[in-house]
Amino acid sequence: MEVILIKDVDNLGAANEIVKVKSGYARNYLLPRQLAVEASPGNRNQLEEKIKQLKKKEDKMLAEINSVIEKLKESPLKIGAKTGTSGKIFGSVTPLQISRAIREQKGYEIDRRKISIVDDVKELGTYKSAIDFGNGHTAEVEFEVVAE
């Protein structure tokens, strides 16, 4: 019996997949728990339409992510830090400071947990950080640490 999975099922498949299972497994487990529906022609058409909608939504989101990445790469962010006489900063630059700088200088709200700093930032200078947008989309953003 062929069924269309509504939700991910361990050892069987992911949501929106058509899988072949034994009829008893489908009738007694998958269908009552609303993990799957029968792969009738009408349900197959609904699945195709749903996949088209998801693809269109993903393409729109990808275009938006690319525009944000381009905007972030235009110029380095400036992050102010208190320094000693030798140019070393007190403390270190954190992802929270980078997130605030992006919000103030570029106008985008990016969660600090999605930002990772490549090197330890202990002195004035230019450094790089990586921002993970999900689905394998990452961007490398330069930021400059300047004295306040």
pLDDT, one tens digit per residue, over 68-116 is 888 888 888 899 888 888 878 888 888 999 999 989 988 888 888 999 9
Instruction: Based on the fold, state whether residues 79 and 56 are members of the same structural domain.
Output: no
Mean pLDDT (whole number) for 29-47: 94
CATH number at residue 128: 3.10.430.100
List, as one string, the DSSP characters of 40-80: -HHHHHHHHHHHHHHHHHHHHHHHHHHHHHHHHHSS-EEEE
Rounded Cα distance between 12 and 10, Å, is: 5
Instruction: Based on the fold, state whether residues 40 and 87 are members of the same structural domain.
Output: no
How many percent of the chain have pLDDT more than 70?
100
Instruction: Based on the fold, state whether residues 59 and 109 are members of the same structural domain.
Output: no
Task: Kindly state the tokens that stand for 125.
Answer: 């200078």
Instruction: Based on the fold, state whether residues 30 and 52 are members of the same structural domain.
Output: yes
Q: H helices within the chain, ranges in order?
A: 23-25, 41-73, 95-105
On whether the CB atoms of residues 5 and 15 are closer than 8 A, the answer is: yes
pLDDT, one tens digit per residue, over 115-129 is 998 888 888 889 999
Instruction: Based on the fold, state whether residues 51 and 75 are members of the same structural domain.
Output: no
Exposure of 106 in the CB half-sphere (CA atoms within 13 A): 24
Coil vs helix vs strand at 12? coil
Task: Kindly state the tokens that stand for 91.
Answer: 């403390």
The pLDDT value recorded for residue 53 is: 95
The pLDDT value recorded for residue 14 is: 92
Mean pLDDT (whole number) for 6-19: 92
Instruction: Based on the fold, state whether residues 50 and 79 are members of the same structural domain.
Output: no
Instruction: Based on the fold, state whether residues 50 and 96 are members of the same structural domain.
Output: no
Q: What domain range includes position 19?
A: 2-63
Domains in the chain: how many in total? 2
Instruction: Based on the fold, state whether residues 77 and 139 are members of the same structural domain.
Output: yes
Instruction: Based on the fold, state whether residues 58 and 77 are members of the same structural domain.
Output: no
pLDDT, one tens digit per residue, over 135-144 is 788 888 889 9
What is the band of 148 on the pLDDT scale with cuts at 50, 70, 90? confident
8-state DSSP, 88: B
